[in-house]
Structure 1
């Protein structure tokens, strides 16, 4: 666990030092995931040709293949739609967390849920406001922050496990 923590922290700081490179990496990785998923989906579609959902399964597979090819061939072009998707996800989760917080209002701690929701909404708006200029770096910055955050978490878990074991 400690090794994973160090890998995440180092990778996160590298991403923060070069958010453009990290964005290209993240988009290319997403492209490969779409390609692999597309191949698996197309193979699956032809294995169940008699199924009523064959056309849908094949269509989703072909679409995934096309998205994968575009993202791998030109990661910078793919950065804009992926950044837009991230912004929309921030907005959607922010609104959901805000509504959840208001439903929790009499309970203790509801303010923290509200704060988290508002932060997500603000981040979504900031990302949308910066498009398309921010598309070349925002995914890399978010990846770096996520890796450092996970690395710190894994470090604390590793230290906690070490204490439990002794």
Structure 2
């Protein structure tokens, strides 16, 4: 069977996907070995993203003359810039804020998944949704139970797990692309 040009290009790109896998896996392992440094890096990265978003939003607000939403776009940009600046210039406090936000998000998504699972009860596999909701809920409670001490490491641990998960994903995609025929 002949490959299309698109498929041939995908097959040839497997090495780049493998490189991404290795970088992601190494980054994940390093993050797990030093969760505090990874948490600090994640906080700083979030700060720079918020700051950049704020600058772009402020710039965009001034691009449209006579726009009724100007003040709201400007305020959104200023708020994003302030949040970014506070994370950049006070990353330890930012770690605490972001960890609290993560804990609340885990609890909220846990509760939503649990409620969703009950609505799926006639469907096969609804128990996995319930299990996922319980895991999210327990993780959120565990983070809050050790708060604020958990702020020093939890974001780095989550970053490490995410990087390793992405590395495994990239590795399997790379192997699949390499074997594309």
TM-score w.r.t. the length of structure 1 is: 0.95
Q: State the partner residue of 2:52.
A: 36
Q: State the partner residue of 2:13.
A: none
Larger relative helix fraction: 1
Root mean square deviation of aligned Cα: 1.0
> Which has more radius of gyration?
2
Q: CA deviation at 1:12?
A: 0.1
Structure 2 unmatched ranges of 5 or more: 1-16
2:94 to 78, 83, 102: 78
Structure 1 unmatched ranges of 5 or more: none
Alignment pair present for 1:131 and 2:142: no
State the number of aligned residues: 165
Alignment pair present for 1:159 and 2:175: yes
User: 48-57 or 125-134: which moved more?
Assistant: 48-57
* Alpha-carbon distance in structure 2 between the residues aligned to 1:161 and 1:105: 38
Q: State the partner residue of 2:27.
A: 11
* Alpha-carbon distance in structure 2 between the residues aligned to 1:160 and 1:115: 30
1:91 to 107, 116, 124: 107
What are the superposed Cα offsets for residues 43-77 of structure 1, whole Å, 9 maximum, x if unpaired?
11112241111111111111111111111112111
TM-score w.r.t. the length of structure 2 is: 0.88
* Alpha-carbon distance in structure 2 between the residues aligned to 1:54 and 1:60: 10
